[in-house]
A = this chain, B = another copy of it.
């Protein structure tokens, strides 16, 4: 075992990366979420973890707890199959149990395509990068009338798997699942470094810009399943991103300590603790 709990994946037998993710009805999705999207997403979120660690997805065990068979389960299963086909995952088994509320856990295994990449390799002077537009999925659940695009980002996330596997230059990476404001401090803590986020560099999707507090949405909106990573200055990140059809934006830099936001105030009040630390 080389990488242990606390990272996106565990690694066993040298090259086998492992990750598990649970989605709970009423917590991670609501009654409005199509069952097919729940099935798709529970696979995609684990693919996102494997990509961050630089492992190509191989197999999945799926544990489904639900009230019983029926159209919901049929649609859920179609979504699982969609995602498995899209990301090259082979469903090898699992368990189905009865329960009054849907709980679903995906356990995915994948083969490392290089040394495992963790959250702990960032160094002061590295650039800080993100794929996609942070907060778009968040706009999908925060907005009273989300756009089709924001809803799609929320329900059908497409982790940048091929890009993540090809990304040699990154010194540290993690998938963006809880939002920048939660995930960046984790990456910094794991690496023993700080970061400076530049508000002017944050790519704001029109749906995020249309939110009452766009910066809050971009920083606190979770569920993006994009890649947050660090790389030395001069790495050809944008060219690689373009080659893989992925948006990548430099949003700041790694520093010695503290997490600072430049060009804006932290959205109040939930973010007060960042100002104190910065």
Contact = CB atoms under 8 A, between A and B. Distances in A.
Contacts of A16: 13, 16
Interface in A167-187: none
| Interface size of A as a range | 35 or more
A109 interface: yes
Given A5-B91, A12-B92, A107-B107, A19 B61 contact: yes
B98 A99 contact: no
Contact of A105 (B58, B95, B109): B95
Nearest to A45: B95
B19 A93 contact: yes
Contacts of A109: 12, 18, 109
A20 B91 CA distance: 12
A93 B16 CA distance: 13
Contacts of A58: 12
Interface string A33-68: 000000000000000000000000011011101000
Interface in A157-207: none
Contacts of A93: 4-5, 7, 9-10, 18-20
A22 B65 contact: yes
Most buried by B among A1, A5, A20, A58: A20
Interface of A: 1, 4-5, 7, 9-10, 12-13, 16, 18-24, 26-28, 58-59, 61-63, 65, 90-95, 97-101, 103, 105, 107, 109
15 contacts: A1-B59, A5-B93, A7-B93, A12-B59, A13-B16, A18-B61, A18-B92, A18-B109, A19-B61, A20-B61, A22-B97, A24-B65, A27-B97, A27-B99, A103-B103
